[in-house]
Structure 1
Amino acid sequence: MKILKEIATNLEKGNSLAVKELCRRALLLSLPCEKILNQGLIKGMEAVGLKFKKNEIFIPEVLIAARAMKAGLDILRPHLSPATGKKRKKIILGSVKGDLHDIGKKIVGMMLEKEGYEIIDLGIDVSTETFIKAIKKERPHMVGMSALLTTTMIYMREVIEAVKRAKLRNKVKIIVGGAPVTQAFADEIKADGYASNAAEAVDLVTNLLKHQA
């Protein structure tokens, strides 16, 4: 649909005002909120992520696109209704130490909330100690870590090792994601899973937690 393509294109360009207005118009056209999110905002951000991985754009351009994404999310969020009738499973999310970027994490959190999960977002620049304290306090089913930089993704390994030392590893699933993160890296640090985008993350969470009480 033309308006969804326009949302994705303007998001890639970092045009926050246009994205905001197009999301409003899409809602007025009675397009499902999930469709606007998936085929407009997320599609645009996935294109940005792909360009970043190919070194066609760099951090400043990603952050400009992320601001446009946030502008669209602010319009859609009140219209996203969470799933009902499910026992809510708890998931902790956080951008690792030194990483100040969280738009991807926020998208994942919002989509998981819509699926009925309880999300505890620790925010950005989350230290290993903060992750451990949160796991002990909240007793989540899963922890999701995000990083946008190669210099910060190394802390994912540190968190997993700390979870092991705290004898909590068999009590919580751990997944990772973010532009520089790969399946190979996730396997290397012994994470339970990796997702390259928000839609994959939702499927991954569902598959990993489907047999957990």
Structure 2
Amino acid sequence: MAEKAAQETKKALAGGEAPLVIVNQELVPALNIVGKGFEAGTLFLPQLLMAAEAAKAAFEVIKQAMSGSARKERGSVILATVKGDIHDIGKNIVKVLMENYGYKVYDLGRDVPAEKIVETALEHDVKLIGLSALMTTTVVNMEEAIRLIRIKKPDAKVVVGGAVMTQEYADAIGADFYGKEAMDTVRYADTLFPEET
């Protein structure tokens, strides 16, 4: 399945489809369907892992296609999938986009405790923190992370995303911004760190 996903992605790119179009119109919606199926109990862990591997393979092809277009470094951002959540494909998509748009990314990985996020933000004086959650059960951990960030690093902005996130959820847990699509996070970062002319 992963091999087929990589082949189809190469074919789409060769046919002139833009990398971001593939990410936003094909990869992300497919992952949302899988995430919702897993939540509803119609898909199970083996299917979730197969889908994750397929998306990862497709994403590797896209990453290669986008490399070399990096700009001058603009600012730093922390990306983390919150505690209890092991899904990091969406976060990885955001990471590659952020790097390609000139941001230094501290990728803390998945299943990251709130304390580790805050510790990294303080250590590197990071002003933007991106949190991801794919499962509704981990949104409470995202809320806890935001609460801790507000206390320990009040000057940092928090952007949230993931299959289960909505604007309402983001507002309820105190996030500064909700990124529905991977590119939204880049656009938000661009408003915080304007490019020097």
Give the TM-score, by structure 1 length.
0.78
Q: 1:196 to 1:92 in 2, by over 3 A?
A: same
Alpha carbon RMSD of aligned pairs, Å?
Answer: 2.5
What is the aligned counterpart of 1:72 among 58, 69, 73?
A: 58
Q: Which runs of 5+ in 1 are unaligned?
A: 1-14
TM-superposed CA distance for 1:211, in Å, is 8.8
- Where 1:101 maps in the other structure, the secondary structure is coil
Alignment of 1:154 onto 2:154: no
Is the CA contact (8 Å cut-off) linking 2:130 and 2:158 kept in structure 1? yes
TM-superposed CA distance for 1:209, in Å, is 3.6
How far apart are the structure 2 equivalents of 1:206 and 1:190? 21
State the match for 2:99 in structure 1: 113
Alignment of 1:43 onto 2:25: yes
Matches within 5 A, 1:10-89: 15-25=1-11, 29=14, 31=16, 35=18, 37-51=19-33, 52-53=35-36, 58=43, 60=45, 61-79=47-65, 80-84=67-71, 86-89=72-75
Further displaced range: 129-138 or 197-206: 197-206
Higher relative contact order by CA 8 Å / sep ≥ 6: 1 or 2?
Answer: 2
Listed one character per residue, the Cα deviations across residues 28-49 of structure 1 (whole Å, up to 9, x for unaligned) are x4847xx1x2222442223224
TM-superposed CA distance for 1:67, in Å, is 1.5
Is the CA contact (8 Å cut-off) linking 2:28 and 2:90 kept in structure 1? no
How far apart are the structure 2 equivalents of 1:58 and 1:82? 37
Identity of aligned residues (%): 31
Q: How many residues matched?
A: 191
What is the aligned counterpart of 2:165 among 181, 188, 200?
A: 181
Q: Which amino acid aligns with 1:175?
A: V
TM-superposed CA distance for 1:144, in Å, is 0.2
- Where 1:137 maps in the other structure, the secondary structure is helix
Give the TM-score, by structure 2 length.
0.84
Is the CA contact (8 Å cut-off) linking 1:147 and 1:153 kept in structure 2? yes
Further displaced range: 127-136 or 194-203: 194-203
Listed one character per residue, the Cα deviations across residues 122-176 of structure 1 (whole Å, up to 9, x for unaligned) are 000100110111011111120000001111111111111112222x11x211110
- Where 2:112 maps in the other structure, the secondary structure is coil
Alignment of 1:172 onto 2:156: yes
Alignment of 1:128 onto 2:110: no
Q: 1:139 to 1:59 in 2, by over 3 A?
A: farther
- Where 2:160 maps in the other structure, the secondary structure is strand
How far apart are the structure 1 equivalents of 2:42 and 2:26? 14
State the match for 2:179 in structure 1: 195
Is the CA contact (8 Å cut-off) linking 1:95 and 1:102 kept in structure 2? yes
Q: Which runs of 5+ in 2 are unaligned?
A: none
Q: 1:193 to 1:211 in 2, by over 3 A?
A: farther
